Each structure stands twice: as structure tokens, then as C-alpha cells.
Amino acid sequence: MNRQITPFPMPRQGKISLVVASRGVLQALMEMLATLALRGQVLVVDGGNCFDAYALARALRRHTPEIQTMLEQVWLSRAFTCYQMVAMLAELPVNGTPVIVLDMLATFLDENVNLNKRQRLLDNSLNLLRRISAGAPVAIWARANPPAAGNEYQQLLTALYETAQDTWELQAPGRPVHQLPLF
């Protein structure tokens, strides 16, 4: 009855889907997560501490009255460092369960870790996601313009682009070019 309305298609098995967009895409990601939860268990790894349980509950409510049961289908892990991201991805089961990684690159912006080390850890993370994607849908969200983004972020983002088979770049709506009249 209710349809999922997102600016991008659902992730598919055998592919890594990448969404590069501002934080405003979180509502659409929660819609996608709700649709996946209605089908079964979903694993979420949150790298930017941005998982919105209320938005997920609202999205589920549009599809089913069994909100609590559906919320139990979503297993959440939060990574606060690039080391934790790799460790969490290494522990994920390879059993066909969809995986969503939110704000993945946020954990790789730690200036206390050498850039070469962060790049190696990101490569390890992406190899783990490739292995998982062979049997399950995998989706990654990376911010298009994170705060204090620099050249290092673009290097890390390039690695995501090279790994993903499906990519969506979403732009924030622009401002009007001219001032509208007040009266």
C-alpha cells in the first residue's frame, strides 16, 4: 500500500551501493532501512553517530503497526574510530544479511592516525564489504561536503567511488538566484 520514496534504488546483492550526499539524505536512508527491515534482519554500522531511531520508527509506522518487532530486525553498531570500523566490519556475518554503513568516512578523518594508515584501514574495510556484498546487499553513505573536508577526505572518497558498483550523488537544493518581493 505505502511505497518507499527515496532518491535512489534499493541496494542489491552482489553490489556495493554508494550514496554521496549531505546529511539531509538521512530521512531517505531511514526509509530504505525500514524497507529492508520489513524483509528481515539488517545490520547497520554507524560511523558518524547519525543513526536516527525516531525517523526509522516513523518510516516503519507508515508500513506496519508492528513497529517494535521491525525495530528488533535492525542491529546497530557504532564505530568511533577507523580501527573500530575495521573491527566491526570484520565481525559481521557473511550470511546474506543486508549491511548499511552510515557516514563511513567520518571515522577515517582522525588526524591522530597517519593518512597512509587510514588509507590502509579503509582498504581493509572495503575488502570486507566486498566479501559481504557477494551474498548480501551493501550500501554506504558518505557525506558530500563534511565539515572541515579537505584533500585527504577527497582521497578517501575516491576509494569509495572506485569500490562501488552503483553510485548516487545527491545535491542539496540550491538557493533562489534572486530576492523574491516582500509584497
Q: Where are the domains of the chain?
A: 16-169
Mean pLDDT for 133-151 is 84
- The mean pLDDT value of the chain amounts to 87
Neighbours of 143 (CB within 10 A): 21
| Residue at 74: amino acid letter | V
The CATH number corresponding to 16-169 among 1.20.1050.10, 2.30.40.10, 3.30.450.20, 3.40.50.300 equals 3.40.50.300
Top-confidence residue, 23 or 121? 121
Residue 173 has pLDDT above 60, yes or no: no
Mean pLDDT for 65-80 is 93
Mean pLDDT for 109-120 is 92
pLDDT-based confidence at residue 25 (cuts at 50, 70, 90) = confident
Q: Return d(Cα 123, Cα 74) in angstroms, integer.
A: 26
Helices (H), the chain: 26-39, 53-61, 67-71, 82-91, 115-133, 151-163
Q: Return d(Cα 107, Cα 84) in angstroms, integer.
A: 8
Q: Give me the residues paired with residue 43 across strands.
A: 75, 99
Mean pLDDT for 19-29 is 88
Q: Return d(Cα 144, Cα 149) in angstroms, integer.
A: 9
Q: Return d(Cα 143, Cα 24) in angstroms, integer.
A: 10
pLDDT-based confidence at residue 82 (cuts at 50, 70, 90) = very high
